[in-house]
A and B are shown apart, each in its own frame.
Chain A
Amino acid sequence: MELLGKFNYWVIFILMMIGFYVVIARGNLVTKIIGLNVFQTSVFLLYISMGKVAGGTAPILHVEGAVYSNPLPHVLILTAIVVGVATTALGLALAVRIKDAYGTVEEDEIYAKDKRA
């Protein structure tokens, strides 16, 4: 039981590393952004799973003396998701502009074109 108590963190870290791997190993800018998003979602899961209290319910008041999960991480992540999609959109917009300017979104091809110029 002691071993399984931290299972949630392990899963989250595995997800985090998958996202990280995509970011550093792939050259395609759009794939990198998707990888960053996978990473981001795993961080969200990390926060929310820390806020969970065993036997608790959603932090909406209904009966006296109920046990609630910690609402603070929920607030932080709620805003973070929306900010995350806004910044992702900004990143994708940059990728579109790079495609217009260079004709490719592959990192090494962009680099080669920069060197030639």
Chain B
Amino acid sequence: MLVATATAALWIRSLFAVTMLFSIYSLLAASLFITLDAVDVAFTEAAVGAGISTVLVLTTLARTGYRQRLRAQSVALPMTVVIVTGAVLIWGTADMPRFGDPLAPVHQHVAPRYIEDSPHEIGMPNMVTSILASYRGFDTLGETAVIFTAGVGVLALLGIRRRAPTRAQSPEDASRPSESESEHG
């Protein structure tokens, strides 16, 4: 189903439909995360993928236009690159552990220690939280800093106009002159 949605998103040219399909794709991914036991991740994906990023893409599209132009050049070259890369990756799965294998290398390193010790070291039932905030505190601090930096970056690129707060007080009066200005200008 995910593949079908993603392929449809690839074929359709109207970017509005692509965005909606991408939103559906995110929601499907979120439900898949639940079946894979990652409830925290599913939460985030549903709120972020299906909610916030769709809204952001739509507001961008309102500025940049909903039509995309397909390029004249042939699809052969990118298709070959993609198929070769995909084939190599699938070939690589020969060495991967089977799905759900409890003896896979991923489960042998630090994870058992977290699962065993988290209850009496941290005393919290939700291991995801205890690892996130305590064992991997530095990671999370860094990631919070990245989010902060991205926010600052967006502000630096787009900025919020000064008169935005004044418009909040009298929405009808302030928004009309700006529209007429843009028509004249």
Contact = CB atoms under 8 A, between A and B. Distances in A.
A45 B32 contact: yes
A80 B32 CA distance: 17
Contacts of A6: 93, 96, 98-99
A58 B146 contact: no
Contact of A78 (B53, B128, B151): B128
B63 A96 contact: yes
B126 interface: yes
Interface footprint category on A = 35 or more
Interface string B99-131: 111101011001100110011000011111001
B64 interface: yes
Given A9-B93, A13-B86, A37 B114 contact: no
A82 interface: yes
Given A18-B10, A51-B36, A75-B131, A31 B15 contact: yes
Contacts of B93: 6, 9-10, 13
Contacts of A97: 157-158
A37 B124 CA distance: 33
B89 A13 contact: yes
Interface in B25-78: 25-26, 29, 32-33, 36-41, 44-45, 48-49, 52-53, 56-57, 60-61, 63-65, 68-71, 75, 78
B39 A58 contact: yes
A96 B60 contact: yes
Given A93-B154, A95-B64, A99-B63, A21 B22 contact: no
B150 interface: yes
Interface of A: 2, 5-11, 13-22, 24-31, 33-34, 37-38, 41, 44-45, 48-62, 67-75, 77-79, 81-90, 92-97, 99, 105-106, 108
22 contacts: A11-B3, A13-B93, A20-B85, A21-B10, A38-B9, A41-B49, A45-B33, A48-B33, A48-B36, A59-B127, A60-B127, A69-B38, A71-B115, A74-B40, A75-B128, A82-B143, A83-B146, A85-B48, A86-B151, A89-B154, A90-B153, A99-B63
Which 5 pairs from chain A and chain B are nearest by CB? Answer: A54-B100, A5-B98, A86-B150, A25-B78, A28-B68
Given A15-B6, A18-B3, 11 more contacts: A27-B69, A28-B68, A48-B36, A50-B97, A54-B100, A55-B100, A69-B36, A74-B38, A84-B48, A95-B60, A106-B69
